[in-house]
Amino acid sequence: MYKKSILALLLPAVCFAAVTLSAKVIEIRKRSDLNPSIAPCTVAGDRELSDQLNRFLLFCGWFDRAASIKSADYNIQASRSGSKVDLYLYRGENRITGWRFDASKGARETAKTIVDTVIEYVFKQLKVRGFCHSRIAFGAQTASGVRNIFLCDIDGGNVTPLTNYRCLNVEPCWNPNGKSIFFSKYGRSGIDVVETTVGKVRRSRIVSSFRGINAGAAVSPDSKFLAVILSPDHQVDLYILGLHQRSRKRLTRGIAVEASPCWSPDGKKLAFVSDRNGNPRIFTVNADGSGLTLLPKIANGVDAVTPAWSDDGKIAYATRLRGSANYVLAVYDLNDRTNKVVTRGGGSWESPGWAADNRQVVCKRTINGKSSLWIVDTRTGRERELLRTGTELFDPAWSPCIKR
């Protein structure tokens, strides 16, 4: 029974100082559970752009909505004339900067660009660019026994299909360059890892098709290597493949079942799930196969699965607490060795994937047998539903920020 449970993890398709601002100085808040507030914005002459702008200001997760301009940390004044939008950012009554934007690409694209620009200005010390242009890949059941990969924006809108196969396609993983997605495709002859580009012209290629299992693909930060779970000799182990030259390196060996690899931000280590000690737990290992280390589990945690490694050294994962059948999300900080649960709501939380801001994760949440995609702010603990379709959703993965 236990081997079946760990394989379910491997093959999910089968089992399915307060901010104080002068005109030019920004300081970080001492309160870590608050964002700067911003008032609702009206773009004179363009109601649709006003709606989209307020939508992305709300859903980006970087600002709280103020009740009025007087109570807001920031407010925006904007107007449109022809294809140009003039926008000014205020701190209290003081205008601190302004921009002119080209609105010829439509309200939604213009809103993303505006909010990205505001984020980059207000939070310049974080050096996050193009956040609203990042996207989320996820799997969805499209027919009985059929699952395909889709994309959506950070507000859950603009849902578009990436694949359209009559088979199971699971475990999407972004190439760090943001140009393609890797996933496991179940065909008649076995399970392959496939790469598909996300541009207007879709191109696909098989990158791993060894005998047996090819699953859990994770691309190294330099886009040169692929961590993958293979079973060419009927043992389910962790390997590293060269993406641009033929190479294969085995990192684990034995009767234990490995799953869900992910890379450290410097590409020198991997985290993965193994049942070598009994219940599935998260281990780290050097990319040369040395230095195997068991990560601590949360207090009262029974297991630890589906790790995701942030760029600032945190590992988000799903875990069951003793006495519960549901999963919660937890974060282990490799810098200060703290381990904490970050979800509060009911149901089962699974498969976290970090945003480029290193604070928000996208995940699957199941309540009463029905799943949807949620975003959890690991700093504030706030949770919001991203997408509900009425079908099974799973395996969300947040893209890197895509440069404009």
Nearest to 332 by CA among 349, 361, 308: 308
- Mean pLDDT computed over 39-67: 95
Residues in the chain, total = 404
- Phi, then psi, of 47 in degrees rounded to 5: -70, -40
Strands 64-65 and 180-187: unpaired
- Mean pLDDT computed over 86-100: 96
Instruction: Write down the pLDDT at residue 11.
Output: 40
Residue 341: count other Cβ atoms within 10 Å of its Cβ: 17
DSSP for 292-309? Answer: -EEPPPPTTB---EEEEE
Q: Where in the chain is the domain with CATH 3.30.160.150?
A: 37-126
Nearest to 41 by CA among 27, 30, 52: 52
Instruction: Write down the pLDDT at residue 112.
Output: 97
DSSP for 208-225? Answer: E--SS-EEEEEE-TTSSE
CB 156 within 8 A of CB 373: yes
Q: Is the pLDDT of residue 392 over 90?
A: yes
Give the confidence band of 383 by pLDDT, cuts at 50, 70, 90.
very high
Share of the chain above pLDDT 70, in %: 91
* More reliable by pLDDT, 25 or 148: 148
Nearest to 241 by CA among 188, 292, 195: 195
Give the confidence band of 128 by pLDDT, cuts at 50, 70, 90.
confident
Q: Where in the chain is the domain with CATH 2.120.10.30?
A: 134-398
- Give the CATH superfamily of 37-126: Lipoprotein like domain (3.30.160.150)
Instruction: Write down the pLDDT at residue 402.
Output: 57
- Mean pLDDT computed over 294-320: 96
- Mean pLDDT computed over 39-58: 96
- Mean pLDDT computed over 368-389: 96
Give the confidence band of 331 by pLDDT, cuts at 50, 70, 90.
very high
The token duo for 219 is 């691309």
The token duo for 264 is 């450290």
Instruction: Write down the pLDDT at residue 9.
Output: 38
Nearest to 90 by CA among 17, 165, 161, 36: 36
Share of the chain above pLDDT 90, in %: 84
Which residues have CB under 8 Å from 286's CB, separation 6+? 268, 269
Q: Is the pLDDT of residue 32 over 60?
A: no
Instruction: Give SS3 for 385.
Output: strand
Kindly report the average pLDDT of the chain as a whole number: 90
CATH class name, domain 134-398: mainly beta
Q: What is the pLDDT of residues 163-196, one digit of tens each?
A: 999 999 999 999 999 999 999 999 888 899 999 9
CB 283 within 8 A of CB 274: yes
Nearest to 211 by CA among 189, 227, 239, 244: 189
Give the confidence band of 3 by pLDDT, cuts at 50, 70, 90.
very low
